[in-house]
Structures are given as C-alpha cells and as structure tokens.
Amino acid sequence: MAVSPTELLDIARTIALEAGELIARRRSEGVVVADTKSSSIDVVTFADRECEEFVKSRLAELRPEDGFYGEEGGDSTGTSGLTWIVDPIDGTVNYLYGIPQFAVSIAVVEGTPDPGTWKQLAGVVFNPMNDELYFASLGGGAFLTKAGMTSPLAVNQETLLAHTLLATGFAYSSELRAEQADVLTRILPAVRDIRRAGAASLDLCAVAAGQLDAYYERDTKPWDYAAGSLVLREAGGVVGGLDGAPEGREMLLATNTHLFSQIEKLLLS
C-alpha cells in the first residue's frame, strides 16, 4: 500500500468537514424527503443523495483508483485495493426532525466492505450541529476535535454490568422491532439505564469518548459502523458480533474488554 493511514485520514477529515457544512446548510434551508427504502418510515432525503454524490466526486478527484460503497448506492470497484465506505447522513430521521444527532461517516478500508475480511485504515465521524469531529487511523489512536481543541479518546473501564450505561437502536421492520423489544426486557433490568440516540456512528463514538459504557444494535450496515468502530477500537474498545463473529447485520456489540462477554451473554440468552 503506497499511501499511509495518516494520509488517508487527512483526506477523510477534509471531505467530512466539507460534507458536514453542506448538510448543515441544507438542514437550515428545509428538509425534503426524496423517497423511502425498506419501509415507509425508512426515509431518504434529497440532502442524503446530494451529500453522497458530493463525497463520491471529491474522492474521485483525490483517490480515483479507489472503490466506493455508499448507503445511497452508486457503488464502484477500484483498482487500488482500497474502498471508501460512506454514510452521507447517519441519523436521517433525526435530520428530518431537526434533532442535532446526525453525522457524516467516512471510512476507508483495505479490501471490500466486509467486516469479516477488511482492514480498517482510517475513519471520520462528523456531527456538524455540535461541531464534533471524531477521527482515527490504524495504530494512530482516536481523537475528538471540538471548538478548535483536539483531545484523545479512551473508553470507560467499567466492570460492573449493573453500572453500565448502554445504548441501542432499532430496525425499521416492525417484526424485527418486536424481537428487539423482547431482548430489551432482558437487558434493561440488568444495567444502569438505556439510551437511544438514533445514529450508530455517533453511538460508537460516544462509547469511545466515555459518554457511554456500551452500545449494541441488530440490523446495522457497513456504512453505519465502518468509521465509528475504528474510532472505538483505537480508543481501546472492543467491537464484534456474537459467538466470535465480526460485527454485522446479525449483531454489533461495542464496549470495553470487561463488559463484552457479560453483555454478550444477555444478548444470547
């Protein structure tokens, strides 16, 4: 690989800041729903599509030989062995309602968009409404830049399940939500409390920053976690699925080394 993770991070960070400014401007102008996807409540806005096209075009200028994999489609296979994984607006429903919990998520991996085989190289998650830029590169640590100040990130080292502040999310499918509700009835009595903020990338970064102790969710896609999971890993956390599987659609669990197996047992019970 001719380019270093640090160089790739610089590109991701630059484009994420530009894309964040774009979606913030579009939010102030008013959000228009362009279509629905998996269900009538799974919306995509014109800003989602515009932002993804913007990111894709900027990457084509700077890294024309790389592949691209975005939530809104338009995927392409490159010749460099690297793939950019992009969620133009993670937390679209929050964006639609004006809740300031959404982000641009940009990651680059060596390989394909498959957490079982990829090698994560760099990742950026930017919430333009709160001016929070989370970023990490392989072996380079994880950081948050806010209000011009940059600080390193480190996961909490909580060991007690009963003291765990745990975040989760829910699918758009009503059938799957019913199953997720059943799981929640087992978990809620065992932990300190539950949070549901509505953007997987920011939940992962919140665990990395010590604002949460853990996060789990079923039915996530690579663009939801490609950047945030690298930030969390570089902050000293653990990310995976159940029974030794990598994170993915069946389950994503992110926490510290002390709590992972305890939460995994609850999810498997």
One domain, residues 144 and 117: yes
**Residue 87 annotated in ligand binding:** yes
- pLDDT at position 122 is 98
Residue type, 192: R
* Distant-in-sequence contacts of 33-36, Cβ < 8 A, 24+ apart: 33/96
CATH number at residue 169: 3.40.190.80
One domain, residues 44 and 165: no
One domain, residues 119 and 174: no
Q: Over its length of 269 residues, how does the chain's per-residue pLDDT go in tens digits?
A: 579 999 999 999 999 999 999 999 999 988 777 656 555 555 678 889 999 999 999 999 999 999 999 988 778 889 999 999 999 999 999 999 999 999 999 999 999 999 999 999 999 999 999 999 999 999 999 999 999 999 999 999 999 999 999 999 998 888 899 999 999 999 999 999 999 999 999 999 999 999 999 999 999 999 999 999 999 999 999 999 999 999 999 999 999 999 999 999 999 98
**Residue 89 annotated in ligand binding:** yes
One domain, residues 96 and 190: no
Domain coverage including residue 84: 5-152
One domain, residues 239 and 131: no
Rounded Cα–Cα distance for residues 160 and 190 (Å): 10
Write down which residue in 152, 187, 221 finishes a domain: 152
Write down which residue in 108, 128, 152 finishes a domain: 152
Rounded Cα–Cα distance for residues 145 and 160 (Å): 30
One domain, residues 139 and 176: no
**Residue 35 annotated in ligand binding:** no
- pLDDT at position 37 is 57
One domain, residues 247 and 221: yes
One domain, residues 186 and 248: yes
- pLDDT at position 42 is 52
- pLDDT at position 110 is 97
What is the value of pTM for the model shown? 0.95
Total count of domains within the chain: 2
b/e per residue 88-122 (b: at least 16 CB within 10 A): bbbbbbbbbeeeebbbbbbbbbbbebebeebebbb
Write down which residue in 106, 126, 152 finishes a domain: 152
Indicate the burial class of 228 (C-beta count within 10 angstroms; 0-12, 13-18, 19 or more).
buried
